[in-house]
Amino acid sequence: MRITCPNCHALYEVPATELSRPRRLRCGACGHGWAYAPAAAEAPSGPDKTMRLAQETSRPPARPVPAFWLVLLAVLLALGLLVLERQAVMRLIPASGRVFRALGLG
Ligand SMILES: [Zn+2]
């Protein structure tokens, strides 16, 4: 964790375990002493920020692709083509004539 001296702005890299509770710190450069509290610490990547980031990235896209409706549309188009081109289908697959006649399309 990075700590800045409030007096001379000297930067110190301090293990986070050393700063888990409030304590007195003394700057090695200017001798200034100050009270350190974890909540008031400078934390460029504190838990608040990272949590908000995680929530933003885990949010699903605004409008997911309606795959079900696309599949249904494709099936309906294929069936429509089969009915419209039933003469060709019956020539290729003679047995399909029975199906079309059963549906009243023969
Ligand atoms: Zn200092």
Q: What is the mean pLDDT of residues 4-14?
A: 93
Based on the domain organization, do 20 and 52 belong to the same domain?
yes
* Global model pTM greater than 0.85: no
Residues 7 and 44 in one domain: yes
pLDDT of residue 52: 52
Residues present in the chain in total: 106
pLDDT in tens, 43-94: 454 455 455 555 455 555 667 668 889 999 999 999 999 889 988 988 999 8
> What's the 30 CA to ligand 1 centre distance in angstroms?
4
- Whether residues 76 and 48 share a domain: the answer is no
CA of 80 to the centre of ligand 1 (A): 81
Instruction: Say whether both 46 and 72 belong to one domain.
Output: no
Residues 79 and 51 in one domain: no
Neighbours of 5 (CB within 10 A): 19
In angstroms, what is the span from residue 101 Cα to ligand 1's centroid?
A: 95
The rounded Å distance from CA 42 to ligand 1 centre is: 15
Residue 31, phi-psi category: left (phi > 0), alpha (psi -120 to 50), beta (remainder): left
Q: CA triplet 45, 51, 53: central angle to 5 degrees?
A: 80
Lowest mean pLDDT among 22-26, 53-57, 74-78, 97-101: 53-57
Where does the pLDDT of residue 12 fall: very low under 50, low under 70, confident under 90, or very high at 90 and above? Answer: very high
Do residues 36 and 71 both lie within one domain?
no
Q: How many structural domains are present in the chain?
A: 2
pLDDT for the residue numbered 100: 86
Same domain as 45, residue 27: yes
Which residues are close to ligand 1, an ion, with C-beta < 5 A? 5, 7-8, 10, 27, 29-30, 32
Confidence (pLDDT) at 20: 87
> Mean pLDDT, to the nearest integer, of 11-22?
88
35 and 52, same domain (yes or no): yes
Shared domain check, 39 and 6: yes
**Structural domain span for residue 77:** 67-102
Closest of 14, 72, 63, 4 to residue 34, by C-alpha: 4
